[in-house]
Chain A
Amino acid sequence: MTSPPANRQRTMFIVTAVLAVLILVPSGVGFVNKLFEFYGVIKGEASGAFAFTPVVNYLLASMGFLCLMLWAIGHGMFHDIERPKQTMLETERMLDEQRATEVDS
């Protein structure tokens, strides 16, 4: 134990914050810059709008699935994540047993 836990936590926070700033700020600036460039392409060139259609297609599809994913998380769809694979086999077994009983009788 060379340093107390409080100091260690503080150090970890500072390192994380510095790394976050170093990574996220340039990435964010680059991304926003690209968005402005994209806007410029659409607005500045007569045929620039053709770039717009596939990107909007993708964003619409992805946004829809992002919403679905958030909904699924909110409704506990990923709780006990391995359970459905057992339930599914159990259901199949019951259906087959019932069918076999009907055929026998």
Chain B
Amino acid sequence: MADENSKTDESTPATLPTHEELVDERLVAWYFLAALAYLFISMSGGFLMAFQLIKHNPLNGIEIFSPGRWRMVHTNAIAYGFLANAFLGMLHWVIPRLTLRPVLDRRLSLFIFCAWQFVVVATAVGLLLGQAQGLEWGETPVWIDPVAQLGLLLVAINFMAPIMKQKGPMYVTLWYFVAAFIWTFLTYAMGNFVPEYFVSGSSAGAVGGLFIHDLVGLFVTPLGWGMMYYFVPILLKKPIWSHGLSLVGFWGLAFFYPLQGIHHFLYTPIPMFLQYGAIMSTIAVELVVLTVVINFFGTLWGDGRQFWDNLPIRWFYTGMVYYFLTCLQCSLQVTLTFQALIHFTDWVVGHAHLVMFGVFSMWLLGVMTYLFPRLLKQEWYSQTLCEWHYWLSAGGMLVMASDLILGGLFQGWSWAALQPWDASVEISQPFWAVRVVSGLAIFGGQLAFVYNLYKTWQLSRVRLS
């Protein structure tokens, strides 16, 4: 026991700080609320695009609300509005508790919160006014890019300060977070500045491909997995199955992920050796993912009942199943044979929704389900509404992804048979109608969550008074 204590002391301060000294709960709650607001904005953008496809756009003819612009608001709001805000809130909880040190400066945290909301709102307004930059998922108007880049630098400085004071072996969550801070800063710079100012043509296309995928793999993925390695052991009250295996997953991601983005541009003038490299590294990442998934299911082994009884755990493991499926799908769709069929089809749209909502959003919603009662010091107003939130989200996502993936195959076969373009649009109508319905289910789930949150907040006020 004495030996165990001395080992713990190596990486922790001499005296144990209190939770209040470490975590600014108010800021965590603000980030989560901002994230939820952007989630609704993003879903509204998605709905407008979905209604446009089934020829029922309610805002038809209004330039500022044209579907092309709303689509960009949809994707940017989910990345920079929902995911970034929710991750920042989570980081303000996890890093101080893991390192037993607060962030560098709470005033800086507050400033970053305000600055980031400005970046996201300005991006949305800029996109609606037609100031988009010509880069998929990097459409943030050019004048916002330096501000966002500075914001990412401040985020890295604020959170790296407590991590850098750690001594001795670091827990895998911190490895993922350190990598995410570095990668996100570099990825944003690469995607938003290199094609804009330094390269053009196919070269810019290659960098654009790297940017899109690195935003998923080097910003969202390390934060997501780092978060899971923290919350799953805490909720299951037992350590991760193998910490060594978790580090294999981390270093595998570090070395295999950065080259895969070019798989977005197969059959293009980009040299074939780069395309083959992207294909091979994508398949290699699937093996890395397998080690991570095995590790988490190894941790759950013997506690399978928790999947049904513990709602945040259910959110997390459902997301993991979706993650494995989406990566398996990825390793198939990057082959040249498969790509010839599904490129430009709704298969890709289904894949994107599965990973962004089915995995990372579900993990974050699970974290919110766990943390909001702790932040408000009040149990959920209704467990039934929590269940509705889960089932509508998970079920809606399953239907939406299956529908779009299947629809994508029909579109691909239609084009391969040299049918006219209009024919592929016509056969897509039932799939697009089902997509609207499944989207409504997901939307309903989030409404249930927000209503439940509001009532829980009311209860917490009553209790305090």
| Interface 1/0 per residue, A68-82 and B, CB below 8 Å | 010000001111111
Contact of A85 among B202, B239, B262 (CB under 8 A): B239
Contact of B206 among A54, A82, A85 (CB under 8 A): A54
B207 touches A58 (CB 8 A): no
A91 touches B100 (CB 8 A): yes
A54-B262, A88-B98, A89-B234 are contacts. A83–B169 as well, Cβ < 8 Å?
A: yes
How far does the alpha carbon of A43 sit from the alpha carbon of B173 in the complex, in Å?
43
Residues of B within 8 A of A82 (CB): 242-244
Q: Which residue of B lies closest to A52 (CB)?
A: B203
> By the criterion of a CB under 8 Å from any partner CB, how many residues of chain A are at the interface?
40
How far does the alpha carbon of A62 sit from the alpha carbon of B98 in the complex, in Å?
27
A76-B168, A83-B7 are contacts. A92–B262 as well, Cβ < 8 Å?
A: no
Give, as a whole number of angstroms, the nearest-CB distance from B134 to chain A: 17
Q: Determine which residue in B97, B171, B172, B183 has the highest number of CB atoms from chain A within 10 A of its CB, and name it.
A: B171
Give, as a whole number of angstroms, the nearest-CB distance from B453 to chain A: 22
Q: Determine which residue in A47, A61, A62, A99 has the highest number of CB atoms from chain B within 10 A of its CB, and name it.
A: A61
B169 touches A81 (CB 8 A): yes
B206 touches A90 (CB 8 A): no
Contact of B16 among A41, A77, A95 (CB under 8 A): A95
Q: Which residue of B lies closest to A37 (CB)?
A: B273
| Interface 1/0 per residue, A49-75 and B, CB below 8 Å | 111011101100110111001000000
Q: Is B233 an interface residue (CB 8 A)?
A: yes
Q: Is A11 an interface residue (CB 8 A)?
A: no
A47-B202, A50-B206, A51-B271 are contacts. A84–B169 as well, Cβ < 8 Å?
A: yes
Residues of A within 8 A of B172 (CB): 84-85
Residues of B within 8 A of A3 (CB): none
- Majority DSSP secondary structure for residues of A touching B: helix
How far does the alpha carbon of A14 sit from the alpha carbon of B242 in the complex, in Å?
37
A50-B206, A53-B207 are contacts. A77–B169 as well, Cβ < 8 Å?
A: yes
Residues of A within 8 A of B22 (CB): 95
Q: Is B104 an interface residue (CB 8 A)?
A: no
Residues of A within 8 A of B237 (CB): 89
> By the criterion of a CB under 8 Å from any partner CB, how many residues of chain B are at the interface?
53
Contact of A47 among B169, B201, B259 (CB under 8 A): B201
Residues of A within 8 A of B190 (CB): 57
A92 touches B234 (CB 8 A): yes
B98 touches A91 (CB 8 A): yes
Residues of A within 8 A of B97 (CB): 91-92, 95
Q: Is A87 an interface residue (CB 8 A)?
A: yes
Residues of B within 8 A of A54 (CB): 203, 206-207, 210, 259, 261-262, 270, 274
Q: Is B165 an interface residue (CB 8 A)?
A: no
A65-B254, A94-B16 are contacts. A85–B240 as well, Cβ < 8 Å?
A: yes
How far does the alpha carbon of A66 sit from the alpha carbon of B171 in the complex, in Å?
19
Q: Is B19 an interface residue (CB 8 A)?
A: yes
A53 touches B233 (CB 8 A): no
Q: Is A86 an interface residue (CB 8 A)?
A: yes
Q: Which residue of A lies closest to B218 (CB)?
A: A61
Give 29 A-B contacts (CB < 8 Å), ordered by A residue: A41-B271, A49-B203, A50-B270, A51-B203, A51-B270, A51-B274, A53-B194, A54-B203, A54-B207, A54-B270, A57-B190, A58-B259, A61-B258, A62-B255, A62-B258, A69-B251, A77-B170, A80-B169, A81-B243, A82-B243, A83-B7, A84-B172, A87-B7, A88-B233, A89-B237, A91-B12, A91-B100, A92-B97, A95-B19
| B interface, CB within 8 angstroms of A | 4, 7-8, 11-12, 16, 18-19, 22, 97-98, 100, 168-173, 179, 182-183, 186, 190, 194, 199, 201-203, 206-207, 210, 230, 233-234, 237-240, 242-244, 247, 251, 254-255, 258-259, 261-262, 270-271, 273-274
Nearest 5 CB-CB pairings of A with B:
A50-B203, A85-B239, A84-B171, A65-B254, A85-B243
